[in-house]
Every structure is written in structure tokens, then in C-alpha cells.
Amino acid sequence: MTDTVAIVTGRRARRPPARVTRRRWLPYAYLAPALLLYGLFLLVPLGRAAQFSLYEWDGLGASTFVGLDNYAAVFQSAQLREAFAHALVLIVFFAVLPLALGLVLAALLTRARVRGLGFFRTIVFLPQVIAMVVIAVTWRQIYAPEGPLNTALRAIGLDSLARAWLGDYDWALPAVGLIGTWVSTGLVTVLLMAGMARIPREQYEAARLDGAGAVREFLAITLPSVRGEITVALTLTIVAALKTFDLVYVTTSGGPGTSTTVPSYEVYRLAFTIGEVGAAAAVGIVLTVIVFLINAVVNVIGERR
Amino acid sequence: MHRHHRMVAVSAVGAAFALGLTACAPGSGSTPPAEESPAGEVSTDVDELGDVTLSVWDQEVRGGQNEQIEQLNAAFMEEHPNITIERNSQAFDDLATTLRLAITDDDAPDVVQANNGRNTMGAFVEAGQLRPLDDYADAYGWFDRYSPSILQYSTYSEDATEFGEGNLYGLPQVGEVVGVFYSKSKLEGLGLDVPKDWAAFEEALQAAKDAGETPMLLGNIEKWPALHVFGPLQGSLVDAEEITDLGLGNPGASWTTPENEEAAAHMQGWVEDGYFNDGVNGTDYDAAWQSLAAGDGVFLIGGSWLAADLEDAMGDDVGFFVPAKEDGTKATTGGTGLPFAITSASENPDAAAAYIDFLTSDDAMDVLAETGNLPVNDTAEHAPDSGVQADVFATFGEVTESGAVLPYLDYATPTFADTLGQALQDLIDGRVTPAEFTETLEADYSDFTAGG
């Protein structure tokens, strides 16, 4: 097996691999096992979901074909529209804020020769490693009416700010969003640090000789150099924002009222608690399309030179 | 070359989609419900059946619940060595979500614990996934064993349009009653007796407030806990039959009545008067009863299932009561634990029925009481001498015999748990008026009853 690979790559070094081009099916034979699994566990379920979305079905009995009615309902239902709006708000908390924080943190951590850099990097990255359910349970405690956050606010005399964060109609969504910020920042920072480490030091020296300050250096050298990393970071965090489920499920169940519902939670609610599987599938498909569209835009902008 | 790759990839995706789309319509591939057994075919002699494996899905996962079911399963298998019970137990919420998938599977479990309401048992009956048990009930004498007021909560018409009348689809093991838990020492400290009726209860709340205590604890971040506060409160003001129609989702009642609106106004008034802890909608259900145990409040309205945990934490300091209505009777939310039902797909309904019979027998009631559960039958006989469990047993007996057991309001329609949970959070937050609250509920209820 390893021999074959070596021969193929060895030939490629000199000229195009003749044997491979002659037998066009060969690359696909190598791809087949992975493609089969991918198709079976991803594409087929996706196709089935698209199919389900055309039916009215309670998940138990017979189904009725309703065409695009479920999609119409997604756009007509105030509660579902609200859920999608919440997801867009979460993008700010999951992607935009962490990117801003991450750029500053990464620039500081790469430039400053601090002792124990590894330690700080680990701390910043730690939220990524913990299961989202654990994070959600922890933050639920932190946001509780008698929890640490309110205790801290009262201790410094800000009693008027203390509130039941997750039970407050205005604050619940930002409170949930900030958990996302806390989680995403580590990932974004570490990605950006990797990018910044690749920037040749000479560029900074040259800039400094030209009289550039730290801010100028950051804008002229650092930021353009990590464009690729920013694209990757935004793609990952936007996807995370749009498909958030566990965080909302554990912290607020979409409440109070409907103030923190998100599309993924609606999929769960429709399919499992209300028994409208068709409508749930339609929400899921619409969400998938939105995720693709937003990320396509991010990548087109990110790769443009 | 590059383009070629893409084309192949695209056509592969297309093929996968086509594969998905040409597959049969959803629901058509599931097990067709087995033919109903003609009368007289049922057998209670399960030792004749040969070797049988019975797959049982239950939600008896908490301490005492798990203990009783393990004891009873072992005893059943000892009595019938030819039957093996394959138990699959999941927490209440998990079972509710997985059962829908499991019950339509070709390899569906034989016995399942299905929540009474229209969302679960009602939906299963409508889809023909549960077997009517009337023939077994006759054979085993279940109609004598149970009071009709209990059995109505697992009774549906065959098309599931009527709830409370028709065929029997399941038997519960335990009873449940929602009432007021209180700290005896706190009440004594306030110089108050246990409130006899709702007026006295509200006076006690005010007295507790004046004394600087938190009168009543509620954690409603999960949305459903407030249902258990609103239920008994509604029971004190609205006619029991009206509530039963509303709660079972049968036509003929209305949410937009002055009485229902008054109940909502009381609930909102309690918030405005500061009778609850701060931030009700942001407090955990568990944190609320733990606060009572920690001595941070006087009253807590909740279900009898909390009694065991509260007794562990508070010992003799915790008591339980239901305030009486103006006419002196008691009406409160309650009913039964989740009933055990037999699936239509079960290949061994005789063994399954024998199992359910065993789980609900007189001996089983003894086991239930010994393990700290509230037996649904002969409750008074099993009451302990003292402690909060004695209060709970006595209250359950009193409510079922001389008062009115009101259904959980979320039984009403498939979406009612959601609608009412959200509406109550809105009401508590003061975002809707009591009138708007009842209109929201009426819309859900009348949509369902008109369509059903």
C-alpha cells in the first residue's frame, strides 16, 4: 500500500502520472469508500429531510403531500421569523465580537514576549475543549438570580444591574450570546496566532524603520497577512452561531416567552414536542441554505485579492 | 480535469438526492398496526406461552422509582421464568422524544410508558400505535381495581378525538397531586396555622411578606413549572368540569371566561405583590425547591414527586397541604404517573398484559409505598404514620374521594404545553394582561377542538 503511494508520487515529480490519466476511474475507486459513507450518512439524510419538508407528517401515522406549504409557513410564522432573527443576532456574538477580541488578543500574545505564553494560550482555548452542555449548565448557574454574576454586581454597589439574566426578556438573548463569545474567542485567537506567527519579522522591522507605530503595523502588516485565517475563523464561528441548539436548549428552552428561540431549537420543538416533522424539516433546510449563503459570501470576500 | 471532477461530484450529489426522493413517503414504511384481537382470544395464562422476551421502555429513573421497578421486574421474572424483561429506562424528557421514533419502528417495544396527554398517548392512539386494553381489563378485573376518575386519563376514543371516554390504553402505578409544601418552622415563626382555604393562604403570603420573608418560591426557567402553580389556583376559582374539558381538550368549554381571567389576574397579582422570589423566569426549578429546603422561603407550590427529596433535605420540617375552595372541597391538579401501555406492534400482548397486571397489583402497591412512591390504589391504607408523605397520602385520598382531581392543563392539545408555558412566562413578566393571556390559550384550544 505505502509502496504504491510512493511510486505514484515519485512519478508525479517528473511528469503527469500517465497510468492514472489513462484509467480515469482509479481516483474514484480510492475515493469510493469515503464517498459512500459520506453519501450514506450525510447526503441521503439531507435528501430525506428535503423530501419530508414537502409533507405534513406527525412522525407517527400517514403523511400528506403539501408541496411548498411548509416553506411558506416558515416565512409566515412570526415565531419562526423571530427565531431566524435571533440567529442573526447570535452571529454578532459568536463571530463578530470574538473576531474583534481575537485580533487584539492574538496581536498582544504574539508581540509581547510574556513568560508562560503556552499557559495563556491554553486558558484562552479552554472553552473550546469543554462540551457545550457543560458550558451551558455552568453559565446557567453564573446567570442565576443568586448566582456569582449578580453577587459580584451587588458587591460593587451595582444592585440596580443585578437581574435574573436568563429570565429577562431584554437580556436573555445577549446573555446567551455572550456565552458564545466566550467560547468562540479562544478558537479565533489561536487561529489568528498561528497566522501571525508566519509573518516574517523583517516586515515589522521595515515598517518600524519607516516610522510606523504599533497600530499602523497592525493595520498595514498583521491584518492583511491573516486574511485567510479570518475567513476560516468567520466561517467556523458563523456556522456555530447559526446552528446553535444545545446552548439554548440547556439555558433557556427558548424562553422567556420566545425571546431566545433559534432555528435549530425550533426544529427540535416542531419535530419532537409538537409532532410537525414536515415543518421541522423545512426549517432545517432553510437554515442549511442560509448557512451556505452567508458562508459563500464570507469566502468570496475573504479570497478576493 | 478540474471541471470534470466537479461534474462527477455534482452528479453524485444529485444521485444521492434522487435516492432520497424516490424513497417512499414518510410514515408509509412504518409498521402497520396489528389487527385488533377478536374478543375472547386473550389469555391470562402466560406460562403456556413458551420463552418470551418482553421489551419495556420506562422512565422510572429517580431513586425510589427505579427501586420499585427493579424489585417488581425481578419478582415478575421469578414468578414467570419463561418471560425475560428487557428494560430500557430513560429520563422523562428523553423518553418523550425517543418514544415517537421507537414506537413506529419494526422492532417496537412491547410495553411503553406513554404520557397521558394528547401530545403523546393521544397521538399514538390516533396513529393506531397502541393496543386497546379493554379485553384484558375485563379478564384481569382492572375496572374494579381502579377508580374511573383515574382511568379516564388513559382513555381515548378510537380516533383519539375524545379524551376521557372510549377505550382504555394504559394503567398507571402511582398517583400524583399538586399542592403547597411549606416550612413548619417558618410558619410557626410567623405565628400562623396551616392555611385552611385560599383566602387564608393569601393572608399567610402577605404576613410572610410583611415579616421580610420570601413568601413563595418558584423556579420557572423551564417554562412548565408555573403550570403547577396556575393549575391549583385555577381549581380554586373555576368549575372542575370546565377545567376538565379544557384540560382534556374536549369541546364545549372556554378559556375566555371571567373566572379564568380572575385566576390569571391572581397569578399576576402574586408577582406584583412580591409574593414570589425575584426573577422567577430566570430561576431553575430545582433551585427553587432547594431554596425552600435551605430555609429561604415559606411556601412552594409543587407536585407530590418533590416530597421524597424535600423530606431528605428538611426532615420533619416540611409539610404539605391543599387549600380548600370556598365551598370547603379541595380541587387541584393531579392524577397519575405515566401509564404503562401495550404497543400494537407487540407480538406478545398476553405477556405484556400480565406484566402490567403485575406492576399494578395489590402486592405492587405495597412495594411502591415501601419505596417511597404514592400508590395510585388503596392509597390511604399505605399512608405512613408521620412526615410529609403522610400529608401527601392523606391529601391524595381526600382529593380523589371527596374533591376533584384536575388534569394537567398541557394534556389539552399537542401544542398546549408550549402555548401555556410561554403565556405563563409572559403573564408573570407582566407583558400580557390576564385577558390577553386567556385569549392566547383560547386560540390554541378552539383551533384544536374545531379541527379535531
User: pLDDT at residue A20 above 80?
Assistant: no
> Under a CB-based contact definition with an 8 Å cutoff, are residues B351 and B43 in contact?
no
Q: Cβ of A44 and B16 within 8 Å?
A: yes
For residue A127, what is the enclosing H or E element?
Answer: helix A117-129
Strands (E), B231-371: 299-303, 318-321, 331-336, 340-342
Confidence band for A7, pLDDT divided at 50, 70 and 90? very low
Identify whether residues B316 and B349 lie together within a single domain. no
Identify whether residues B71 and B115 lie together within a single domain. yes
In whole angstroms, give the CA distance from residue B358 to residue B351: 10
CB proximity B104 to A under 8 Å: yes
CB proximity B21 to A under 8 Å: yes
Identify whether residues B415 and B270 lie together within a single domain. yes
pLDDT higher for B2 or B363? B363
pLDDT higher for B65 or B341? B341
pLDDT tens-place string over residues A83-121: 999 999 999 999 999 999 999 999 888 877 677 888 888
Residue B82's identity, in one-letter code, is N
Is there a domain that residue B27 lies in? Answer: no
Name the burial class of residue B137, with classes exposed (0-12), middle (13-18) and buried (19+) by CB atoms within 10 angstroms of its CB. Answer: buried
Is there a domain that residue B274 lies in? Answer: yes
Is there a domain that residue B7 lies in? Answer: no
pLDDT tens-place string over residues B189-201: 999 999 999 999 9
Identify whether residues B166 and B185 lie together within a single domain. no
Q: Cβ of A59 and B104 within 8 Å?
A: yes
Dihedral angle over CA of B293, B296, B297, B302, nearest 10: -40
Which residue from B44, B58, B115 is spatially nearest to B357, judged by alpha carbons? B44
Q: Cβ of A272 and B21 within 8 Å?
A: no
Comparing CB atoms, the residue among B25, B96, B417 nearest residue A63 is: B25
Calculate what percentage of chain A has a pLDDT beyond 70: 92
Among B2, B125, B159, B221, the residue to mutate for chain A (most A Cβ within 10 A): B221
How high is the mean pLDDT of chain B?
A: 88
pLDDT tens-place string over residues A141-168: 999 998 999 999 999 999 889 999 999 9
Identify whether residues B344 and B316 lie together within a single domain. no
Note the pLDDT of residue A92: 96
Residue B178's beta-bridge partner residues? B303
Comparing CB atoms, the residue among B128, B279, B414 nearest residue A167 is: B279
Q: Cβ of B100 and A63 within 8 Å?
A: no
Angle at the Cα of B206 (from B202 to B207), degrees rounded to 5?
Answer: 115
Identify whether residues B293 and B344 lie together within a single domain. no
Identify whether residues B310 and B437 lie together within a single domain. yes
> Under a CB-based contact definition with an 8 Å cutoff, are residues B135 and B42 in contact?
yes
User: Which residues of chain B lie closer than 8 angstroms to A273, CB-CB?
Assistant: 96-97, 119, 417-418
Identify whether residues B151 and B201 lie together within a single domain. no
Is there a domain that residue B10 lies in? Answer: no
Identify whether residues B302 and B446 lie together within a single domain. yes
Instruction: State the total domains in chain B.
Output: 2
pLDDT tens-place string over residues A197-249: 888 888 888 988 988 888 888 888 889 999 999 999 999 999 999 999 999 99
Q: Cβ of A168 and B282 within 8 Å?
A: yes
Is there a domain that residue B26 lies in? Answer: no
Name the burial class of residue A156, with classes exposed (0-12), middle (13-18) and buried (19+) by CB atoms within 10 angstroms of its CB. Answer: exposed
pLDDT tens-place string over residues A275-286: 899 999 999 999
Q: What range does the domain containing B359 cover?
A: 52-175+337-381
For B225-268, give the DSSP string. TTHHHHHHHHHHHS-HHHHHHHHHT-SS--S-SHHHHHHHHHHH
* CATH superfamily, domain at A78-256: MetI-like (1.10.3720.10)
CATH of the domain at B191: 3.40.190.10
Interface ipTM? 0.82
Identify whether residues B302 and B248 lie together within a single domain. yes
Identify whether residues B162 and B184 lie together within a single domain. no
Average pLDDT, stretch A69-88?
93
Is there a domain that residue B324 lies in? Answer: yes
Which residue in this structure is represented by grid cell 432547594?
B290
Identify whether residues B132 and B256 lie together within a single domain. no
